[in-house]
Amino acid sequence: MEFLKDLWGFIRVHKKFWLLPIIIVLLLFGVLFVITSGSAIAPFVYTLF
């Protein structure tokens, strides 16, 4: 959390707002990567591919 505060401070002070979308997308990606990883959930024999 402290890291995120520091990061926000850096972006605000140096006006590097273009970094925000990159950070948000990477954060979401990281959360998705962790969620459900290692769990054995495969409800159907594939329905899309």
Partner 1 sequence: MKNNYKKLLVILISIFIAVVLCEVFLRIFYNSYKNYNLEMWRYAVELKKPLSETKLPFHHYSNSSGNYYGIDITTNSFGFRGSEISKEKNDSIDRILFIGDSFTLGWGVPFDSICSKVLEKKLNYSKINYEVINTGIGNYNSIMEVELFKLKGLELKPNIVILMFFVNDVEPIPKVSRLESSFIRNSYLFAFLFDKIQKISVLMNKHNNWKNYYKKLYFNENIDALIQNKESLYELINICKQEHINLIIVNIPELHELKEYPLNISTQYIENIATEKNVRFIDLLDYLQDYKPESLWISQEDVHANAKANYIFANTIYEKLLEWELIH
Distance CA 36, CA 6 (A): 29
Applying CB under 8 A, does 46 fall inside the site for partner 1? Answer: yes
CB closer to partner 1, 4 vs 25? 25
Applying CB under 8 A, does 21 fall inside the site for partner 1? Answer: yes
Distance CA 22, CA 38 (A): 26
Cα 27 to chain centroid distance, Å, stands at 2
CB closer to partner 1, 4 vs 26? 26
CB of 35 to partner 1, least distance (A): 7
